[in-house]
Amino acid sequence: MKIGITCYPTYGGSGVVATELGLELAQRGHEIHFISYAQPIRLRGEQPNIHYHEVEVSRYPLFDYPPYDLALATRMAEVSQLYDLDLLHVHYAIPHSVSALLARQMLADGPRGRRLPFVTTLHGTDITLVGLDRSYLPITRYSIEQSDGVTAISNYLRERTQRVLDVKNPIEVIYNSVNCDVYHRDNKSRAELRNEYAPQGEHLLVHLSNFRPVKRLTDVIEIFDRVRKHVPSKLLLIGDGPDRSVAEWLAVQKGIHQDVLFLGKQDQIYDKVACADIMLMPSEMESFGLAALEAMACEVVPIATRVGGVPEVIEHGVSGFLADVGDVDTMARYAIELLQNEAQLEQIGKQARKAAQSKFCATKVVAEYEEFYRRILGRSS
Ligand code: GMT
């Protein structure tokens, strides 16, 4: 198949999911065309079957708000025509599904009158936050209803979209996935990185996000502060975003800043995640929690909040631990107990990887997308 993929190319789970999906599909022989304003962060160098088409957004002085969605729709239609794409797959409804809808309409009304179906994958904040803003809600709902196929990354998100947006178009759940060959424990690189980050043999906790308020970065610091009082440990913070300075300030106030390592945004994160013992994900909301899944594949035990789709990813007490939002004492207690019991830490880590392999393995999930695309194409021809 020839598939156009659009996503937010910068730091964020939906862009990562879209890029990894495109890479897997390309490996399986499909021709993949990424259409976006920048090259997706995890897409580097020349790769077979992968093409990237940049969307140029005009900065004409009249435009206080450059109309990216229109430039995207135009590029989608051009690329689809030029490379004879079979379908478009957009990740994150706003504004991508609206642009895809316009592109489909342009091609249908064009000289060849061709039909270009599009699939929308809902990721979370496109529904739970942005989609509920009155200025976006009607158009978000409309573009979802108009999609030739809709998927959501968890049962939670499907139910929430149906309930809150009253969407009638069927929504299929296709979970996010992880490539367990890439995300795994590599003892050599793990030893090297632990030597670098924790030279006195301390335990390592890790957090990975875009540091937005929904991630509750200060809870990560609070949890770590409690853990550090009982177990010698260091905290790796991967990512960057609006809450970085408040977290830095809190770490300084608590006198623990020398043990909190801000690693910034990283292109490839698997080795840095895999060298840790525990991943902290105390988010206010997660429709899925991709970072936790990536940790699980690396045998790193996730301690997270019981919100949104997270319980579909982490089975409490089996593949990680769950607590209520803001309950930093309980999350710290789980971490301390695990770090003081190496056998349990190792056992839960292995169970976490097993869960990642059996339920969320990229090979299985990519096949589900292929099958979904075929069904959409069958219906559209
Ligand atoms: O959570 C974010 O800040 C980023 C956002 C995105 O769209 O990039 O993440 C959402 O999509 C991820 C990939 O499907 C999910 O793993 C996250 O749980 C989801 N975030 C929320 O629901 C808050």
Taking CA atoms only, the protein residue closest to ligand 1 atom 20 is 286
| Residue 33 belongs to a domain | yes
- Over 90: is that where the pLDDT of 269 sits? no
Please tell me whether residues 272 and 137 are part of one structural domain: no
Please tell me whether residues 156 and 15 are part of one structural domain: yes
The CB of 153 under 6 Å from ligand 1? The reply is: yes
Half-sphere CA count of 158, side-chain side, radius 13 A: 14
- What is the number of structural domains in the chain? 2
Please tell me whether residues 13 and 156 are part of one structural domain: yes
- Report which ligand 1 atom has the smallest distance to the Cα of 290: 16
Gap from CA of 167 to ligand 1 centroid (Å): 20
Average pLDDT, the chain: 95
Count of CB atoms situated within 10 Å of the CB of 148: 22
- The residue-averaged pLDDT of 283-308 equals 98
89, containing H or E segment:
strand 87-91
The CB of 173 under 6 Å from ligand 1? The reply is: no
Give 168-184 pLDDT, tens digit per residue.
999 999 999 999 999 99
| Residue 74 belongs to a domain | yes
Nearest to 103 by CA among 141, 66, 69: 69
Give the list of residues 6+ apart from residue 133 with CB closer than 8 angstroms, or none: none
Please tell me whether residues 323 and 368 are part of one structural domain: no
Q: Band of the pLDDT at 128, cuts 50, 70, 90?
A: confident
- Over 70: is that where the pLDDT of 11 sits? no
Give 322-362 pLDDT, tens digit per residue.
999 999 999 999 999 999 999 999 999 999 999 999 999 99
- The residue-averaged pLDDT of 194-217 equals 97
- Report which ligand 1 atom has the smallest distance to the Cα of 287: 22
pLDDT at residue 32, as a whole number: 97
- Report which ligand 1 atom has the smallest distance to the Cα of 284: 23
Gap from CA of 92 to ligand 1 centroid (Å): 9
- The residue-averaged pLDDT of 141-161 equals 97
Could you tell me if 286 and 124 are in contact, meaning their C-beta atoms sit under 8 angstroms apart?
A: yes
- The dihedral built from the CA positions of residue 327, 155, 360 and 272, taken in this order, carries a sign that is negative
pLDDT at residue 132, as a whole number: 75
96's tokens: 């991508």
Residue 162 and residue 139: Cα distance in Å, rounded? 15
- Over 90: is that where the pLDDT of 159 sits? yes
| Residue 169 belongs to a domain | yes
Could you tell me if 150 and 171 are in contact, meaning their C-beta atoms sit under 8 angstroms apart?
A: yes
Q: Could you check whether the bond before residue 95 is cis, i.e. omega within 30 degrees of 0?
A: yes
- Report which ligand 1 atom has the smallest distance to the Cα of 15: 8
The CB of 161 under 6 Å from ligand 1? The reply is: no
pLDDT at residue 205, as a whole number: 98
Q: Band of the pLDDT at 112, cuts 50, 70, 90?
A: confident
- Report which ligand 1 atom has the smallest distance to the Cα of 16: 13
The CB of 19 under 6 Å from ligand 1? The reply is: no
Gap from CA of 126 to ligand 1 centroid (Å): 9
The CB of 197 under 6 Å from ligand 1? The reply is: no
Across 128-142, 189-203, 285-299, least confident range: 128-142
Question: What's the pTM?
Answer: 0.94
CA angle 14, 42, 5 (to 5 degrees): 55
- The residue-averaged pLDDT of 64-69 equals 89
pLDDT at residue 77, as a whole number: 97
| Residue 278 belongs to a domain | yes
Gap from CA of 370 to ligand 1 centroid (Å): 22
| Residue 294 belongs to a domain | yes
> Buried b / exposed e across 273-285, counting CB within 10 Å, b at 16+?
bbbbbbbbbbbeb
The CB of 125 under 6 Å from ligand 1? The reply is: yes
Please tell me whether residues 371 and 305 are part of one structural domain: no
Gap from CA of 340 to ligand 1 centroid (Å): 32
The CB of 92 under 6 Å from ligand 1? The reply is: yes
Gap from CA of 14 to ligand 1 centroid (Å): 6
Gap from CA of 12 to ligand 1 centroid (Å): 7
Please tell me whether residues 165 and 254 are part of one structural domain: no
| Residue 116 belongs to a domain | yes
The CATH code of the domain that includes 97 is 3.40.50.2000
Please tell me whether residues 165 and 199 are part of one structural domain: no
Gap from CA of 13 to ligand 1 centroid (Å): 5
Q: Band of the pLDDT at 273, cuts 50, 70, 90?
A: very high
pLDDT at residue 22, as a whole number: 96
Please tell me whether residues 169 and 193 are part of one structural domain: no
Please tell me whether residues 212 and 167 are part of one structural domain: no
Please tell me whether residues 335 and 352 are part of one structural domain: yes
- The residue-averaged pLDDT of 44-61 equals 87
- Domain range for 79: 2-176+362-380
Q: Band of the pLDDT at 51, cuts 50, 70, 90?
A: very high
For residues 100 and 12, the model is more confident at 100
Please tell me whether residues 143 and 231 are part of one structural domain: no
The CB of 123 under 6 Å from ligand 1? The reply is: yes
| Residue 18 belongs to a domain | yes
Please tell me whether residues 136 and 172 are part of one structural domain: yes
325's tokens: 């939002």
Say if strands 50-54 and 149-152 run parallel, antiparallel, or are unpaired.
unpaired
- Report which ligand 1 atom has the smallest distance to the Cα of 12: 8
Residue labelled with tokens 């550090």: 228
The CB of 9 under 6 Å from ligand 1? The reply is: no
pLDDT at residue 10, as a whole number: 79
| Residue 181 belongs to a domain | no
Pocket mutation for ligand 1, best pick of 129, 157, 286 (most atoms within 8 Å of C-beta): 286
